Structure 1
């Protein structure tokens, strides 16, 4: 087990060694990354948003062929056709998934169904009201996402402000998300009352991630002020859904007016394809290994923490670096108190 300094109740709930959760990034977080994260002692999560039940089952089986450690599956009930969500969740239940991870507006029935099937439930939210709703509906863990986060962003305030507010509002474990990619940030989250951190950007740019190399290199080359918070990547998601991406040629025309865009107003300009499926400019598709085309024009999801990601390492290296740094910081605090 990990040293007492990093062993939080969250680790008992999720049955992981370290209080570090990998974000369930749609498309990016597939079996190889999930297994690598869980094998490293953290908690891996498949990003299966709007995937077929067949692919979900295949990915779950592949993770299990690579690790014996627990992992989760991320679905988004509020942004998925109800019938598709039903069969997605059925696939997870039939496979005996350890933990369901949900995001966006709280859908109480999704929590109820997962809990009745014996799953643990983690709900990622962007404000206090949604955290309270998730707890009331039976969630086991809340992920509090600050506006610094990459990908889809549901809140409007920073992690530093949001995290202690949600910690004070609920009784279940809270995990910090948005701006967390280091051991120092893990210790900071613990100091704010959280029981762990949730990492997306730092694990997107790893060797095992299913993100295309063009996306990984974009993260590595980006700094903290190279991101854009916008709703311009509107195709495929509910209206006015904010994301954070690394700025690119595709975002230049939206940087002066990042909000107020609609999918209906976006022309369907195909810039890439994936296994015969057209991929459109200003959709929520990010570049994946399975895509071809003008991938540099797609959504380069990334948080402000991208400035701390300087190389494409293995997932195990990233987890080990976070843990070692956190333990060193805590040890340094202990030594300074004794001096």
Structure 2
């Protein structure tokens, strides 16, 4: 038997300009410049989570990230969940800043893909179904991220990560990245052995020192078991109806009495439970607690994927990535040599 790889390098690394096929998920509010830079400098691929953020904040984050690393990165936007005027301003500012890669999510918006592709940018698109993957490829994306139901945060599809990844791989020649429930070297190794070009991780990097998540959220991650997560569309304010999220169970999910799905944002109460400076945070909103948040943090959306049970401590992002890679290298592989992974 042999190890999966000495470097774990795949052709995706050459495309993105990173050393390791491990991507930071574009977690809104959490994946700020400090975390993205840490992942980049450790050899992974960083993503700034800028969903619905003001273009001025995007400019500040991009500037700070570039001051902290010279490695390539992407900016994550969500066209389908952003007002058209704001989306236009966000993309305009990114292009003015010379951003060279975008990460999109949720429904495929061909016009947004075409605009940044015409500007010479790379496009990664996270999808939850095979049909969405076809739409993304038809729109001209460069990389497809297959998000399984195990993922934390917003979950678009209902298929397990491996099942969806393999189904998409069967119908495209584009690089496919597996995402959802992957927090350690075992998940990384399994994804690469199934044919994925890399993995994308959210929960594993949320529980790091550089993450912009509140310390309370990070601590809850280290205490949670895999079966403590809940998939629900109750935390839906600010997003389209039916947009489900995976969170650690809390007082809000307990109050649903098992009715986790079927919540209409138009009928949910608007009750302020926390604040970020002068910005109110509502019960049932998609906002998660950040470093700057004060108030009833327990009742907010505490995002976590089903692999959370393997997260036991809060460490620097570089250590989390290094541990993941080291573990993956120790996992034997008795298959014949496979193309795409550097031996």
TM-score where L is the length of structure 2: 0.95
Moved over 2 A (4+): 332-337
Report the equivalent of 1:43.
Answer: 45
Q: In structure 2, what is the equivalent of residue 22 of structure 1?
A: 24
Contact 2:162 2:178 in 1 (8 A): no
Cα distance in 2 for residues equivalent to 1:77 and 1:335: 41
Partner of 1:143: 145
State the alpha-carbon separation in 2 of the partners of residues 33 and 223 from structure 1: 24
Q: Which residue is 1:94 aligned to?
A: 96
Task: Name the counterpart of 1:6.
Answer: 8
Give the whole-Å Cα distance in 1 for the aligned partners of 2:183 and 2:202. Answer: 8
* Alignment map for 1:1-339 (pairs within 5 Å): 6-329=8-331, 332-333=332-333
Cα distance in 1 between the residues matched to 2:38 and 2:226: 27
C-alpha separation between the residues in 2 aligned to 1:109 and 1:8?
30
Aligned residues: 334
CA shift in 2, pair 1:106/1:255, >3 Å: farther
For 1:243 and 1:78, the matched residues in 2 are separated by: 16
Shift of residue 151 of structure 1? Answer: 0.2
Q: Secondary structure, in 3 states, of the residue corresponding to 1:207? A: coil
**1: distance between equivalents of 2:326 and 2:246?**
29
1:229: Cα distance to partner?
Answer: 0.4
Change (3 A) 1:266 1:12: same
* In 1: Cα distance, 2:335 partner to 2:114 partner: 46
Q: CA deviation at 1:336?
A: 12
Cα deviation for residue 244 of structure 1 reads 0.4
Equivalent residues of 2:75, 2:101 under 8 A apart: yes
Once residues 185 and 98 of structure 2 are traced to their aligned partners in structure 1, the CA distance between those partners, rounded to angstroms, is 32
**Residue number in structure 1 paired with 2:340:** none
Distance (whole Å) between structure 2 residues aligned to residue 13 and residue 108 of structure 1: 22
| CA distance in 1 between partners of 2:235 and 2:11 (Å) | 37
User: 1:125, 1:143 within 8 Å by CA — same for their partners in 2?
Assistant: yes
User: Can you give the 5+ residue segments of structure 2 that lack an aligned partner in the other structure?
Assistant: 338-343
* 1:110–1:335 Cα change, 3 Å: closer
Give CA-to-partner distance per residue, 1:146-195, whole Å, 9 cap, x none: 00000000000101211100111111000000011111111111121100
| RMSD of aligned residue pairs (Cα, Å) | 1.6
Q: CA deviation at 1:255?
A: 4.8
Cα deviation for residue 98 of structure 1 reads 2.4
Q: How many angstroms apart in 2 are the aligned matches of 1:262 and 1:234?
A: 8
Distance 1:171 1:83 in 2: 34
- CA gap of 1:134–1:255, structure 2 versus 1, over 3 A, is farther
What is the Cα deviation at residue 294 of structure 1? 1.0
Change beyond 3 A, Cα 1:10–1:335: closer
The answer to which structure has the higher helix fraction is 1
